[in-house]
Amino acid sequence: MSEILKNKIAYIYSDDLVTHCDKLPAMKNRASIVHDLVRNYNLLSQENIVVVKPRDATEDELKSFHSSDYIDLLKSLNSFDTSLDNIEDNHLEFGLGYDNVIIENVFDFASCLVGSSVSAARLLAAKKCKTVINWFGGWHHAQRDSAAGFCYVNDIVIAIQIMSKFFDKIIYVDLDIHHGDGVQNAFEYSSKILTLSFHKYSQGFFPNTGNIDDIGQSQGKYYTMNIPLKDGVCDKTYVDIFNEVFSMVIENFKAEALVVQCGGDGLIEDPLGQCNLTLKGLGECINKILKSDLPTLFLGGGGYNFPNTARLWAYLTSLILKTDLSNDIPDT
Q: Which residues are part of the catalytic machinery?
A: 141
For residue 15, say whether it is annotated as part of any ligand binding site.
Answer: no
For residue 99, say whether it is annotated as part of any ligand binding site.
Answer: yes
Instruction: Say how many Å lie between the first and final Cα of the chain, rounded.
Output: 30
3-state secondary structure of 235: helix
* Residue 30 and residue 332 in contact, taking contact as beta carbons nearer than 8 Å: no
Phi and psi angles of residue 49, each rounded to the nearest 5 degrees, phi first:
-130, 145
* Residue 150 and residue 141 in contact, taking contact as beta carbons nearer than 8 Å: yes
What single DSSP character describes residue 123?
A: H
Can you list the pairs that 241-244 forms with residues at least 24 positions away whose Cβ atoms lie under 8 Å?
A: 241/198, 242/198, 242/284, 242/285, 242/288, 243/284, 243/285, 243/288
For residue 178, say whether it is annotated as part of any ligand binding site.
Answer: yes
Relative orientation angle of helices 306-321 and 30-40, to the nearest 10 degrees: 40
In one-letter notation, the amino acid at residue 18 is: V
Phi and psi angles of residue 218, each rounded to the nearest 5 degrees, phi first:
50, -130
For residue 149, say whether it is annotated as part of any ligand binding site.
Answer: yes
Q: Report how far apart, in Å, the C-alpha atoms of 188 and of each of 95, 117, 185, 224 are.
A: 22, 21, 5, 6
Residues annotated within a binding site for a divalent metal cation:
176, 178, 265
Residues annotated within a binding site for substrate:
99, 149, 304
Residues annotated within a binding site:
99, 149, 176, 178, 265, 304
